[in-house]
Structure 1
Amino acid sequence: MEPLRPASLSRSERSGACSAGAGRAARFRRRGAVLTGALAALALASPTVAAHADPEPSTKDLKAQATKLADQLEQLTEQYNGLKVKLQQSQRAAKVATENAKRQEKALQAVRDKVGNLAATSYMQGGSDPTASFVASQDPQAFLDQAATLHYFASQDGSKVQGLMQAMQAAQRARKAAEERARQVSDLRGRLEAQRKKVSQTYEKTRGKLVKKDPTQLGKLPVVGSGKGAQALRYAMTKIGRPYVWGASGPSTFDCSGLTMWAYKQVGISLPHYTGSQWNAGTHVSRGQLQPGDLVFFHADLHHMGMYVGDGKMLHAPHTGDVVKIAPLAGRPFAGAVRVA
């Protein structure tokens, strides 16, 4: 018997079947493309997580940080002023204690000499005197603690024995007091300097970032410090924007040495109205040692000067047609600096 053959399909049926198959293939390809794209995207994203850097602090944030640090430095400065008084008191007390220890040592030696003479006399008379053992002992207190010795001394000149004991005890107390005072002085100074250094470094770093973002902010920051230089600079900063006038020394117009003279006058220091004289008005310091308020000089003949502000900048009255302002030290022939106080 002949096997059954599949019925033949018409052309339209074959065409429909092909169209249906082509549609399914197209849909499969589209889905495959979408899946491939998704896998590719996942592969790019999954190996590492994108690192997000902390946003740079704004000018406002940096100024707030710098102002807060400056306030902390002011507090530490006042604590320093208070501790400086205590340090001076401790140093005086240590000196007094040391001198007292020396006096007691002399008194102790004098009593020892007397007891030694007493022992020598007894020995020459043929007696066996425990005093000699006391004088020769490396540990007099231990020797005195012996009952027989105490009984012996009780029968001797009480004032000499009492004087010896009091002198020994007083000398020991005085020495301990002097050593303790010295330790306290050292500890106080060390802790204070460590605190000041840490906050000062943080302030300088924050101020540097702020000035880098906006140089005009330097003049708006507090002047840190309690010395005469910092105080004078605070006064000078209030004159930013005032016009330069040759020969003027305030309170509304200034030339370069007139500004520094006026500022220091406000804190009780008289400076001559001449750059050459102000050059000799204090202690010369190097550029690396500059502190706010130090006088900075330029040119070989010292014909221009200003006041150091910090961060490599100064406050000065430049020239006719200009105003009191903050400017970089760089770009000018730096001659040197002077710390007035």
Structure 2
Amino acid sequence: MGSHRRPKPPSRARIATLGMAAGAVSLLPTQSQAAPKPTVDEVRKEVERLYEEAEAPTEEYNAIREKQKKLQREADRAKDRLARKQQEINELREKIGPLAAAQYRSGGIDPSVQLFLSSDPDDYLGQAEMLDRTSSRQAEALEAMRRKQRELTQEREAAQKQLKALEETRAKAARTKDEVQDRLAKARKLLNSLTAAQRARMEADQERDDAAAGASDSPATYNGPASGRAKVALDFAYAQLGKPYEWGATGPDSYDCSGLVGASWRAAGVSLPRTVKQMYDAGRKVARSDLQPGDIIYWYNDTQHNGMYVGNGKAIHAPRTGKNIEIVPLDSMPFFAASRP
């Protein structure tokens, strides 16, 4: 396995003025010495860098969203438990009412006075026994209600903690989303600074480079050596060729890198975790020399980017914003590891 690791991008991209980066501005600029507009190639390189920097926080966002969904389910269950406990307490309270009334009717008088008032000792003893049973049932009901009240208080405290954790996760997801959107907005701004002719030239250069590297996003059908579930997963992935990359997306119209891998294997009946890191941690590692079609490929490191091996030294992946799902040579990016679902 290779040990290529890309430096972790800064939490917020700080883009130097491209003209200055190119050394195009004198040390003492005047009003008549405005920085020249960046060249098409400079814009392209900077856009690529911004898109790549958006990948790590995209995967972080995916992980936070998964945690948020889990916390939401827990909070919903806690609310259901609270409602049930409250209903049980209400039912106990209703039971205690008639018991208290019965005690008042038969037991509101001191037993010794009641004996004098009773003309029949057997009648008195019967009333005393009923009173004892009523008091006992009422005591049990009160104890049950107190126990339920204690449980309700504990449930409420647990639910409040879960809701607080959910709110914190929502806030973190929003911050991470802003981080990704910040990079994408800067990339769009750079692209919009080009003329139509410059953009056309940049796209043509990109297509030329992709062709030279052996990349293709043209619709195709998988006809490699995979079988069983791996073939089903690759058939699905190939059917997505040409669909756009979109951060945080899991299909069916667009995907991010781990979204495509997860959806492909899900089509084969295999449930994978959501993010690149989670897939790497959960998967059975395989050596590069033992790669089989359908294996998950990790490039750069264990957290940033993945795809699926298709055989013949190539892989299918959802590359980055602005590009479509494509087939590329395995070494078009630094190979890090592989795992088998």
- Shorter-chain TM-score category? 0.3 to 0.5
TM-score relative to the length of structure 2: 0.41
> Highest Rg: 1 or 2?
1
Normalised TM-score (structure 1): 0.41
**Does 1 or 2 have the higher relative contact order (CA < 8 Å, sep 6+)?**
2
